[in-house]
Amino acid sequence: MGKKGVGMGQTGIYPVQDWVALRGAWCYEQARVVATGSVRQRLEAQRLRVVVLGLVGRGKSSLLNALVGEPVFATGAVHGVTRGAQAVDWRVGEYPVELVDTPGLDEVGETAAVWELALGAELVLLVLSGDPNRLEINILSRLVRSGKPVIVVMNKMDQYPPAAQAQLQARWQSGKLARWVAGTDVVWVAAQPTGWQKTATGKVVRQSLAPQVEELRRVLVTQVQTLAPALLALNALHTTAQQPPLLAPPAQTEALIWRASTTKALAVAVNPLLGVDLLIGAAVDGALLLRLARRAGVTLTPVEASKLLYLIAGSLGGLGVGSSLLAGLLAGGGLWLPYLALATGRGAVAGLATYLVGRLGWQYLVQGKTWGTGSAREQVHRLVGAIDQGAVLARLRQYLHHPPGDGIQ
């Protein structure tokens, strides 16, 4: 199933001396066990994400166009041509590669989103077009400190006479830059070179020349073909290691979350109108989040609370709460079942939603109103997956069948 022989139980086909492949394959298997979300999807599909990064106008879009051999992305001399990240599918041997173009990093406002993409990629191409300025050195330093595999692409080399190019090269071979990036990871290209030509009338005009990116293509092909499993594994393990585990709230807080869950479960179960669920839900969940915020010592405005609720509840739709609702209904006996069983199923699912809102809300609040690295949706998805929903549903059902005070418990 795996490409390059990398798959379950196939690591033994590597010659023992082939350490890179052997370690890559081993890490790959480890990463498959722990990775979650979109990183896991890429890992399973052995699909690499390569992101270009660089300041405005360095030729990022031109470079990707030259690599794929088609004018996929808009380019131009004006400031900030690329406004949002866009991807194009490419392929290196058997490996699908997603090449992602990003807006220039000195474009105000886009920085966080671009960094999130770059730090989540298997490989970053940092595009420069001359000696790096201070901002570019900071960018490179952040990439290196994050342990991100980087290829430095020195673009627009048609603009440098050979002597100037030699000077540039010397700086990558000694000093600070050389300590950060190996010489073999600095590649010299001209993505959209221009030259001057004399017309029949004697006028000298600017003329587009063929791109010179073969060296980069060669480096990419070699790296991807030998290192794809290792690059995927490295990124997946790194991302996973940075993700905070699901936090267990203190007993009193857990009790508060549980009380809100059973309150909602009961309210929904005894209410015969389906649409009323939503109203009760929003009220109970919103109030719970505000109380949790007070306990965590964090300020949360009602608007923030409803945004948080919207985010968590929105993710639950795709996480099987909808299907567990259906399962709850069917487990109760199908369409002919007595109303009580149906209502109990509905109530338990509504209570489960509140429980998840409480646990995730608590995590978000005590972490200082952040989900950590990665997209909020993905983090919510991952944390919900870490909660035993079946057990919570069973407890809620039991509660609804025998609420405390009916003499049975």
Ligand X SMILES: Nc1nc2c(ncn2[C@@H]2O[C@H](COP(=O)(O)OP(=O)(O)OP(=O)(O)O)[C@@H](O)[C@H]2O)c(=O)[nH]1
Q: Which residues bind ligand X (CB under 6 A)?
A: 54, 56-62, 75-77, 80-82, 103-104, 155-156, 158-159, 190-194
Stretch that binds Mg ion, among 82-90, 212-220, 225-233, 234-242 (CB under 5 A): 82-90
What minimum distance in Å lies between the beta carbon of 246 and ligand X? 39
Q: Which is nearer to ligand X, 38 or 212 (CB)?
A: 212
For residues 156 and 77, is the Cβ–Cβ distance under 8 A?
no
Stretch that binds Mg ion, among 33-41, 79-87, 179-187, 276-284 (CB under 5 A): 79-87
Q: Tally the residues of the chain.
A: 409
Quick one: what does residue 77 bind among Mg ion, ligand X, none, with the CB cut-off 5 to 8 Å set by partner type? ligand X
Q: Which is nearer to Mg ion, 107 or 185 (CB)?
A: 107
Quick one: what does residue 319 bind among ligand X, Mg ion, none, with the CB cut-off 5 to 8 Å set by partner type? none
Task: Please state, in angstroms and rounded to a whole number, the distance separating the CA atoms of residues 47 and 236.
Answer: 12
First to last CA, the chain: 53
Task: Please state, in angstroms and rounded to a whole number, the distance separating the CA atoms of residues 277 and 346.
Answer: 9
What minimum distance in Å lies between the beta carbon of 207 and ligand X? 11
Q: Which is nearer to Mg ion, 82 or 192 (CB)?
A: 82
Burial of 244 (C-beta count, 10 Å sphere; 0-12/13-18/19+): middle
What minimum distance in Å lies between the beta carbon of 272 and ligand X? 58
Residues between 42 and 71 that touch Mg ion (CB under 5 A) = 60-61
Q: Which residue has the tokens 């109108």?
A: 273
The set of residues, in sequence order, having a beta carbon less than 8 Å from that of 83 and lying 6+ positions away, is: 103, 110
Q: Which is nearer to ligand X, 196 or 339 (CB)?
A: 196
Can you read off the two tokens belonging to residue 102? 């990003």
The set of residues, in sequence order, having a beta carbon less than 8 Å from that of 119 and lying 6+ positions away, is: 146, 148, 373
Can you read off the two tokens belonging to residue 380? 């919510």
Task: Please state, in angstroms and rounded to a whole number, the distance separating the CA atoms of residues 122 and 223.
Answer: 11
What minimum distance in Å lies between the beta carbon of 100 and ligand X? 12
For residues 181 and 175, is the Cβ–Cβ distance under 8 A?
no
Which of 36, 46, 65, 82 is the binder for Mg ion (CB under 5 A)? 82
Residues between 226 and 245 that touch Mg ion (CB under 5 A) = none
What minimum distance in Å lies between the beta carbon of 190 and ligand X? 4
What minimum distance in Å lies between the beta carbon of 197 and ligand X? 14
3-class DSSP assignment, residue 49: strand
For residues 220 and 188, is the Cβ–Cβ distance under 8 A?
no
What minimum distance in Å lies between the beta carbon of 56 and Mg ion? 8
Instruction: Encode 280-296: b = buried (16+ Cβ within 10 Å), e = exposed.
Output: bbeebbbebbebbbeeb
Stretch that binds Mg ion, among 80-88, 189-197, 202-210, 222-230 (CB under 5 A): 80-88
Q: Judged by CB under 5 A, does residue 155 bind Mg ion?
A: no
The site for Mg ion, by CB under 5 A, has a size of: 4
Quick one: what does residue 194 bind among Mg ion, ligand X, none, with the CB cut-off 5 to 8 Å set by partner type? ligand X
Q: Give the residues lining the site for Mg ion (CB under 5 A).
A: 60-61, 81-82
